[in-house]
Amino acid sequence: MNQSLKLFEKAQKLIPGGVNSPVRAFRSVGGSPFFTKKASGSRLTTADDKELIDYVCTWGPAIHGHDHPKIREAIAEALAKGTSFGTPGPAEVEMAELIVEVVPSVEKVRMCNSGTEATMSAIRLARGFTGRDKIIKFAGCYHGHVDSLLVKAGSGAITLGNPDSAGVPSSVAEQTIVLPYNDLTAVSEAFSKHGQEIAAIIVEPYPANCGLILPHEGYLQGLRDLCNQHQSILIFDEVMTGFRLSIGGVQQSIGITPDLTAMGKIIGGGLPVGALGGKAKIMDFLAPLGPVYQAGTLSGNPLAMAAGITSLKMLRDESPYEKLETIGKTLATGFKDIAKTKGIPLQVPQTGSMYCLYFSEKPITNFDQAIASKHDSFKSVFHKMLEKGIYLPPSSYETCFISTAHTEKDAEKTLEAFESSI
């Protein structure tokens, strides 16, 4: 029996499902997960010494590839000064200054430890600020495992066949209005009905947890306008897109200013970090200035700040976005051409370093279309690619990521593997 299988058997006795986050269990594609013993650049090395080109990139954070020497050095330097202070530290001020500098809508920022904490606090803050209870979210958007947001939540949740989690009180779920993405009329109707009760709209500006969906022209501006008209808060969940598509996230790329922004993933450089930022007059509603409570024993942790600051500074100073877009285009075009030659219907939405494979005749513009695409085709391609040393995310509802460590040669190998897999 191989090492991964041995570890998984033991893990299943000790950890629910053998994993500490559900999608890692391969339930959506079948089979059992490999275990990784180390990672470097664009590659993972499994417990059985197989090398894989990695398009999961630790689900987003590893935009510089794995084990980047600069990030490793920054952590080592911070480590020599202590792992946690429990008082304010200089790195937190540096991080805040950096985020305020690069993310257009952010005037003040509060650090936390995960994307989930960021969206949870954003919702509480929006409710506290507006004195309203209801929120609008969109089907297929995932905002972490927050009670009120685990409704039609995409990703891991749909992979397991239950878009709505057990254990969420119906009184909480009732406060969440779920609408289809890319449909402004639906949002407008919800406001007509509940306008005075809606605290906020929360949206992944480019939904990336049910594959990858891009907005129709004018859609996000439409959300901004409706929030303005009804004095509701617009929350961009840029946990996935922030710092990935441009240093300032989707809000910078398309020039729309949300009131609050949830951040995570890349912001921690591979360590656990999240952040909530936005307009000062809203952010000042947070404790200790305001009545909305939010806290964290390890928030602003010096090791995590060191890794995150280094990750963000490299992006700001080296701006690798064009290079990432080039490899993204090579892959997307390659996948589409190969599928076309073989007469297999395939959609490959791609923007910058994000792409996904939908086995579908038509472009995907919302969650219902995403779940109607052919998952069996994805499953079979996933396993064949893995066999050939290419690790795609183990679910067709996930986005593939490219890092600055991925080369044209990696892309070439990936396309060769794809050609012989479909």
Ligand X SMILES: *Cc1c(COP(=O)(O)O)cnc(C)c1O
Neighbours of 144 (CB within 10 A): 20
Residue 86, phi then psi, degrees to nearest 5: 70, 10
The nearer residue to ligand X, 120 or 327, going by C-beta atoms, is 120
Report the alpha-carbon distance of residue 363 to residue 295 in Å, rounded.
42
Using alpha carbons, list the distances in angstroms from residue 88 to 91, 267, 309: 9, 19, 16
Min separation Cβ 376 and ligand X, Å: 25
Task: Scan for tokens 């039609």, then name that residue.
Answer: 152
Q: Is the peptide bond before 349 cis (omega within 30 degrees of 0)?
A: no
Q: In terms of DSSP bridges, do strands 43-46 and 36-40 run parallel, antiparallel, or are they unpaired?
A: antiparallel
Min separation Cβ 409 and ligand X, Å: 29
Query: Which parts of this chain interact with ligand X (CB under 6 A)?
Result: 114-116, 119, 142-144, 204, 209, 237, 239-240, 264, 274
Strand partners, 111: 275
Min separation Cβ 273 and ligand X, Å: 9
Min separation Cβ 143 and ligand X, Å: 5
29: Cα separation from own chain's centroid:
20
The nearer residue to ligand X, 144 or 334, going by C-beta atoms, is 144
Min separation Cβ 204 and ligand X, Å: 5
Q: In what order do the strands lie in the sheet with 390-391?
A: 36-40, 43-46, 51-54, 390-391
Min separation Cβ 23 and ligand X, Å: 10
Spatial contact of 39 and 54, defined as CB atoms under 8 Å apart: yes
The nearer residue to ligand X, 266 or 348, going by C-beta atoms, is 266
The nearer residue to ligand X, 5 or 172, going by C-beta atoms, is 172
- Tell me the catalytic residues: 142, 237, 265
**Which amino acid, residue 106?**
V
Determine the residue with CB nearest ligand X.
115
3-state class percentages of the chain: helix first, strand second, coil last, to nearest 5: 45, 15, 40
The nearer residue to ligand X, 54 or 237, going by C-beta atoms, is 237
The nearer residue to ligand X, 60 or 128, going by C-beta atoms, is 60
The nearer residue to ligand X, 142 or 181, going by C-beta atoms, is 142
The nearer residue to ligand X, 28 or 209, going by C-beta atoms, is 209
CB burial readout 252-269, b (16+ within 10 A) else e: bbeebebbbbbbbbbbbb
Strand partners, 354: 351, 401
Min separation Cβ 141 and ligand X, Å: 7
Spatial contact of 159 and 28, defined as CB atoms under 8 Å apart: yes
- State the alpha helices, DSSP H only, in 200-341: 219-229, 249-254, 280-283, 302-318, 321-341
The DSSP 8-state label assigned to residue 114 in this structure reads: S
Min separation Cβ 167 and ligand X, Å: 17
CB burial readout 329-340, b (16+ within 10 A) else e: ebbbebbeebbe
Using alpha carbons, list the distances in angstroms from residue 135 to 130, 172, 191, 362, 416: 11, 11, 11, 31, 46
The DSSP 8-state label assigned to residue 297 in this structure reads: T
